[in-house]
Structure 1
Amino acid sequence: MSDYVLSFKPTTRGFGVHDPSSVIFEDGEVVYGIEEERLSRRKHAANQFPKRSIRACLDDCGIELADVDEILLPYRPELLSKLLSSHVQNVVTNPSFFRRSAGEESSGSLLGNVATVTDTVDKYLGARSDELVELVEQRLENEFTGPVPPISTLSHHRCHAAGAYYPATFEEGLVLTADGRGEYDSTVVWRAKNGELTRERTYEHPNSLGLLYGAATEFLGYRAFNGEGKIMGLAPYGKHNERIDRKLRSVVDGGVDYDVTEVTTGEIEDGVEKLEDMFGRSRKKEAGEYTDWEQDFAFTIQQFLEETVLDIVRAYLRKFSTSNVGLAGGVALNCKMNKRVMELDAVDDIYIQPVAHDGGLALGAGMLHQKKPLDMPTVYHGPSYSNSRIEETLEKNKLEYEQSDDIEREVAELLADGKLIGWFQGRLEMGPRALGNRSILADPRTEASRDRVNRYVKHREEWRPFAPSMLEEAADEYLENAEPSPFMIKTFDVSQEHKDDIEAVLHPADDTTRPQTVNENQNPRYYRLISEFESITGVPVVLNTSFNDHGEPIVTTPTEAIKDFYGMGLDALALGEWLLRKP
């Protein structure tokens, strides 16, 4: 009889607010996993209990909640009590915090805001683990049938660390986890050895690299916890600006003993206001075109992050006498930073959890629970749809379509002819990257492809770069210091002789690229598509971006793919073996 362990981030009181997901393990192996946003269709699924993703996990295994042996929650809510002092201080001293907490104008005095202070104290004094776990139990009882299995809680950053250690190829090394905040932790250095993770150093809230980057993101017109990748993409357009750098470093310190609390104390909004005061500039009201100063500011923030993380990694590699590094937490989605870590002379082996943000906590919790190496060659953990089911959807919607005898070859020919293709195959990916199963594909050879996808398909700023998928065996030829990169979470320089071959997938400012390397074992159909494209064009690379419109989650179902196909400037849509074309 199988042993089932269900892991999920609840996003209820005390368990975080964004990016819930659910994963089910059968006899220690991941059998299904999906982020709640892919089912609720609300990006990041903030404050949504993951009932849909839990249901999907159970349905895939053909079981009910009562058949699960144990539930894991990747938070220790009792640790939230450590936040009490900083939150009460904010309520008492910060008028803007009053207004945001109470939802009304405030005099800024303690006596005038007794209710707000009381609510805050109650919230964090009441954050006892047993009470909060009971809230989760009640939600499960309301949504599902049968008794609720035993529930265990695991600390947020330890779950992140597990996700960067147990799938890695090394047995001993340094693991660094960094994000906005998890319980009271913002950055944690871990010693990984003999299957155990030992906490070596903790940078506590609000001393957070993630929150600093989030404040900078809002300052430049994007939303924190959503637009950080766009600021990373903007940074190479900038350059070192001594005035910006000097002003920033007058209030924040980098290095192993970094301190950014002058900007990160309070809410993100407080940090934005501090940046406005510091630089004598108002925040950008909306994202779009950027001035030289704004590009230089993005460059400075990115450089500060990279240099600070590099200093920490160097110091603890020396201390641990190791050359192996694991990275996780939302900050580890910063592939430019990852590149700098990879290139350190002191680093021989690196593993970056592909679902590095909170959407991967459920994976990490399951790995932490069993504390043994877990091979994770792909993140294709979500739902798939048979050809017959796809055809039923096409018939139901009275669409014209054709069955392809060789979908890979036919799509490769369309790509070589400059067409923009929606590609819907196999199991849905976990994580923020489309990896060849829910992808929009284009010819990588010309900048015109990039511009068309930005303008007519993704409906986003034209300066933003795209990434490639390439045959793994071609990586040495196309990339400097190449190594397998199946998850699009590492950045590389491109070899000089091939830059002209893949103009659409180079960052326009620095000619780097963030590739997915593809081998036949990981994704046979996608591998063959790229191989067919190479046979036609001589280039073993395609432009690959996620199959979603601007501001939406990646598509999950055939119906969603069809809707986006007709709402975007795509030329054709491949759904399994079925092909739709626009006139």
Structure 2
Amino acid sequence: MTFYRLTFKPAIGLYGQHDPSVALFEDDQLVFAVEEERLSRDKHAVNSFPGNAIRECLEYRDLSLSDIDEIVLPYEPSLRWKILPHYVRASLSLDERLKQFVSLGSTVVSQIRGQLYPTRQIENELASIGTPVPPIETHPHHACHAASAFHPSGFEDALVLTLDAKGEYDATVVWKGTLDGLERVRTYKHPNSLGLFFAAITEYLGFRMFNGEGKVMGLAPYGRPNRAIETGLRELVDTGVDYDVTDLTKHWGADAGVAELEAVFDRPRRTDSGEFTQWEKDLAFEAQSLLEEIVLDLTETYCRQLGVSNVALAGGVALNCKLNQQVGALDVVDDVFIQPVANDAGLALGAGWFDQAPRTVAPMSDVYLGPSFSTAAIKRRLDANKIEYTEPDDLERDVAQRLADGALVGWFQGRLELGPRALGNRSILADPRTIASRDRVNKHVKHREEWRPFAPSMLERAAKEYLTSDGSTPFMITTADVRDERVDDMAAVIHPADETTRPQTVREEQNPRYARLLSEFETLTDIPVLLNTSFNDHGEPIVTTPNQAIKDFYGMGLDFLVLEDIVIEK
């Protein structure tokens, strides 16, 4: 009898606010996973229940909810009482009695629900999908992050760091992972949160928290060391293994932190959409430097203390690719695994692995876990809409030639990726050799800031020829330095300010068609590299269906669209 476990991260009530996702496990094997935003088309699917994603998971195996043996949620609401004093202090600090009363009342109600009825809201939502509702288990948020990082890492032992805005009561947790499981070593409680520290910087620079942190990371290399800014930040932030950022993060949300930054620097938050000043670039640089200083101290201290040289990372802060490169470069670190779905969307994976022995979980080599569409089904859609198309005899060579000639190509293949990166199945591709390619994609395709860099996909066997570090990096989750002699070969995918890049390495067994496309491009150009960015317009989730790909194709400055075996030309 097959055992089905459905795991999901809601974004309602006691279960967080953003990035809901769902995963289906069949006899302890992960078989399907998808984020709600890819189906609802609402970026990050804030404050939403992942009903669409649950139905998609059930449909994958033609199941009804009653066929599910167990549901697992990556939150333990009963643990929220551990920061009750913080919520009380935050409520009493409000400037009006009515606001204090309302906030305290909300806190009390939330605590009672967390203790007595932790899954009631989820049960009610599930009942609209099917009955009876299966038994529901809950596991701690950071423990699920930790399982998502360590269990599929392939490590026998490791330091595991989970770094985000907040779990139930914890913001950063140090773990030791062994083949027997995970041991909690140290907890940094909310509001001492690195995620909220960087969120305050993000909001101060005019972006949106939990959405724009990657832009701050990308802006940082344009900055320079600035003693005045560093001094101001260090008035608010203590670094080191006993770090403290609570002067910026003492209230949930970023507004209080932004007010502190405005006071320290005597500058209002950025509100215009013009070019960044050098001061703003320098702030991004110094904030990134402080984040790296803290996490590197944590890594070095606990690798030595625990006697390990492997590191596994998860939590939203672990999406910071430049930080990840610095962790991997430490002398005490031999190898690093960063969960590619490091943000809250990856919690569904950790919840499914939580009760499994790490030795039983296969190392993660790809995240092609979502829905796919056959060529026959795509043809029926195109014929019904009278859209002309061709079906080349040698698709990979045909597309490689178009790319070598300068075309911008929408590439839609196989199963949808899980996580924030397009990894060759829902991608926009271009020739990596010229800065003109980068600028054209930014301006006419992605409609985003021109200073933002792109990333490359490259054949894994060629990585050592192009990067100063070799090995497998299949998830675009860390940056790397480019060899001087190869900079001109991949000008479009190098950060203009520091000449780093965020590579995806590709092996044929991971993605056969994409590897063949890279090989054909190499045959034509001698360069086994392509510019690869996610197939979505600015502010939208990555496309999921052929219809969405077609809509974006006609709304963006793309020249060709490849849907499985089919090519569409404008």
SS at match of 1:181: coil
Counterpart in the other structure of 2:238: 253
Paired residue secondary structure (2:75): coil
* Alignment-derived partner of residue 333 in structure 2: 347
Query: 1:285 & 1:117 partners in 2: Cα distance?
Result: 29
From 286, 308, 312, give the equivalent of 2:298.
312
Residues 1:220 and 1:113: Cα distance change in structure 2 (over 3 Å): closer
Distance 2:178 2:273 in 1: 44
SS in 2 for 1:369: coil
Do 1:288 and 1:461's aligned partners in 2 also have CA atoms closer than 8 Å? no
Tell me the secondary structure at the aligned position of residue 62 of structure 1: coil
- Structure 2: distance between partners of 1:120 and 1:238: 42
Is 1:178 aligned to residue 163 of structure 2?
A: yes
Instruction: Please report how far the alpha carbon of residue 121 of structure 1 lies from its aligned counterpart in structure 2 after TM superposition.
Output: 2.9
Contact 1:179 1:329 in 2 (8 A): yes
- Residue by residue over 1:335-354, the C-alpha shift from the partner in whole angstroms, topping out at 9 and shown as x without a partner, is 10000000011111111100
Cross-structure match for 2:196: 211
What amino acid maps onto 1:158 in structure 2? A
For 1:101, the equivalent position in structure 2 comes to none
The range that moved more, 221-230 or 168-177, is 168-177
* Pairing partner for 2:560 from 560, 563, 572: 572
Work out whether 1:136 is the aligned partner of 2:122: yes
Distance in 2, Cα, partners of 1:202 & 1:147: 38
Question: Aligned AA for 1:58?
Answer: L
How far off its partner does 1:399 sit? 1.0
| CA distance in 2: counterparts of 1:3 and 1:286, whole angstroms | 54
**Superposed counterparts of 1:490-529, under 5 Å:** 490-529=478-517
Give the drift of 1:132. 2.5
What's the counterpart of residue 456 of structure 1? 444
Which residues of structure 1 form unaligned runs of 5+?
96-107
Is 1:411 aligned with 2:399? yes
| Counterpart check, 1:201 vs 2:186 | yes
Give the structure 1 partner of residue 321 of structure 2: 335
Partner of 2:369: 381
Percent identity between the two aligned chains:
57
1-structure distance, mates of 2:314, 2:214: 15
1:361 aligns with 2:344: no
CA RMSD of the aligned region, Å?
A: 1.1
Superimposed CA distance per residue, residues 426-482 of structure 1 (whole angstroms, 9 cap, x where no aligned partner): 000000000000000000000000000000000001000000000000001000021
Q: Whole-Å Cα distance in 2 between the matches of residues 139 and 401 of structure 1?
A: 42
Q: 1:287, CA displacement in angstroms?
A: 4.3
Q: Which residue of 2 aligns with 1:105?
A: none
- Following superposition, the deviation at residue 252 of structure 1 comes to 1.1
Aligned counterparts of 2:52 and 2:180: Cα–Cα separation in 1: 33
Aligned residue in 2 for 1:63: 63
Per the alignment, in what secondary structure is the counterpart of residue 192 of structure 1? strand
Amino acid at match of 2:175: W
Match of 1:76 in 2: 76
One-letter identity of the residue aligned with 2:164 = D
Task: Tell me whether 1:292 sits opposite 2:278 in the alignment.
Answer: yes
Amino acid at match of 1:192: G
Which moves more between the two structures, 364-373 or 516-525? 364-373
Amino acid in the other structure paired with 2:314? A
* Paired residue type of 1:237: Y
Residue in 2 that maps onto 1:238: 223
1:323 aligns with 2:320: no
Shift of 1:250: 1.5
CA contact (8 A) 1:324 1:348 kept: yes
User: Once the two structures are superposed, what CA deviation does each residue of 1:392-449 show, in whole Å capped at 9, x if it has no partner?
Assistant: 1112222111112221111100100000000000000000000000000000000000
2 CA distance for matches of 1:326 and 1:423? Answer: 31
Q: Match of 1:187, SS? A: strand
Partner of 1:103: none
TM-aligned CA deviation for residue 90 of structure 1:
1.8
SS in 2 for 1:299: helix
Q: Partners of 1:157 and 1:287 in 2: how far apart?
A: 36
Which amino acid letter does the alignment assign opposite residue 417 of structure 1? Answer: D
CA distance in 2: counterparts of 1:385 and 1:448, whole angstroms: 33
TM-score (norm: length of structure 2):
0.98
Distance 2:100 2:263 in 1: 29
Using the TM superposition, give the Cα deviation of residue 273 of structure 1 relative to its aligned residue in structure 2, in angstroms: 1.0
**1:240-263: per-residue Cα shift (whole Å, max 9, x none)?**
100000111012100000000001
2:170–2:187 contact (8 Å) kept in structure 1: yes
Residue in structure 2 matching 1:222, options 187, 190, 207: 207
Partners of 2:112 and 2:379 in 1: CA distance = 52
Q: Give, as a single letter, the amino acid of the residue that structure 1 aligns with 2:125.
A: R
Q: Deviations over 1:177-200 (max 9, x none)?
A: 000111111000001123311110
Matches of 1:311 and 1:343 in 2, distance apart? Answer: 13
Q: Structure 1 residues 575 and 288, CA, compared in 2 at 3 Å: closer, same or farther?
A: farther
**What do the CA deviations read for 1:212-242 (whole angstroms, capped 9, x no partner)?**
1001001001000000000000000001100
Tell me how far 1:275 sits from its aligned partner.
Answer: 0.7
Query: What SS does structure 1 have at the residue aligned with 2:236?
Result: coil
Aligned residue type for 1:487: F
Partner of 2:469: 481
- Secondary structure of the residue aligned to 1:326 is strand
C-alpha contact 1:20 1:359 (8 A) present in aligned 2: yes
Decide which moves more: 433-442 or 404-413: 404-413
> What TM-score comes out, normalization by structure 1 length?
0.96
Structure 1 residues 549 and 49: alpha-carbon distance in aligned structure 2, compared to 1, 3 A threshold: same
Which amino acid in 2 is paired with 1:277?
A: A
Which range moves more in the overlay, 193-202 or 332-341?
A: 193-202
In the aligned structure 1, how far is the partner of 2:365 from the partner of 2:274?
A: 37
- The equivalent of 1:40 in structure 2 is 40
Residues 129 and 92 of structure 1, relative CA distance in 2, 3 Å threshold: closer
Shift of 1:173: 1.4
Counterpart position of 1:427: 415
Distance 2:59 2:545 in 1: 16
- Over 3 Å counting, the alpha-carbon distance change for 1:237 and 1:353 in structure 2 is same
Q: 1:287 to 1:254 in 2, by over 3 A?
A: farther
Q: How many residues align?
A: 567
Q: Does the 8 Å CA contact 2:162/2:314 hold for their aligned counterparts?
A: yes
Bigger drift between 465-474 and 262-271 goes to 262-271
Give the letter for the 1:542 counterpart: L
* Residues 369 and 13 (structure 1), Cα distance of their counterparts in 2 relative to 1, 3 Å cut: same
5+ residue gaps, structure 2, are none
Report the equivalent of 1:187: 172
